[in-house]
């Protein structure tokens, strides 16, 4: 599952056609490009412990941007934490926390749209503030966590043979 993100990104580009392939790849949600303070570590099976996203170093109040074209599907508190969640084309969902939202449910966004401001207080963050950025692929009933870093436009897609 951990190496599935580049394959999923390639599949998304094929499914949406060549005219919009560049828009299928994501942009960094913090700018300038942030340091990664905690990497993706998907649990297997899904209900086990793990880290279902990446943590990115930031500063309190820093704008958090949509990673790509999407619709806001959640902006509020979830389990006591401020979260923004986006639905992208092809069944990809991304989430951003802790973010004080400036967007509303149903709003169309793109990589130039600020979703809100980064808040301090993310557990285990070694910086002033950290953005937890997560990604899910597929229908909610059987969605897979994917590493959002593998979906970035700056990450090259390398297809490798299945048998080695």
Q: Which two tokens stand for residue 56?
A: 């990115």
129-137 and 54-58 as β-strands: parallel, antiparallel, unpaired?
Answer: antiparallel
Q: What is the mean pLDDT of residues 18-24?
A: 43
pLDDT at 61 over 70: yes
126-160 per-position pLDDT tens digit: 888 999 999 888 887 777 888 899 899 875 556 66
User: What confidence score (pLDDT) does residue 160 get?
Assistant: 66
Closest CA to 92 of 112, 70, 66: 70
Token look-up 């942030």 returns 34
């Amino acid at each position: 599952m951990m190496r599935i993100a580049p394959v999923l990104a390639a599949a998304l580009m094929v499914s949406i056609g060549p005219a919009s392939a560049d828009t299928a790849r994501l942009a960094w949600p913090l700018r300038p490009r942030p340091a990664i303070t905690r990497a993706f570590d998907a649990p297997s099976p899904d209900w086990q412990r793990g880290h279902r996203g990446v943590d990115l170093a930031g500063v309190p109040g820093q704008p958090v941007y949509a990673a790509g074209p999407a619709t806001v599907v959640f902006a509020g508190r979830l389990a006591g934490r401020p979260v923004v969640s986006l639905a992208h084309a092809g069944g990809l969902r991304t989430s951003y926390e802790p973010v004080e939202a400036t967007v509303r449910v149903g709003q169309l966004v793109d990589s130039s749209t600020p979703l809100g401001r980064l808040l301090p207080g993310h557990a285990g963050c070694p910086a002033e503030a950290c953005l937890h950025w997560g990604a899910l692929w597929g229908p909610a009933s059987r969605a897979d966590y994917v590493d959002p870093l593998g979906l970035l436009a700056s990450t090259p897609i390398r297809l490798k043979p299945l048998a080695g």
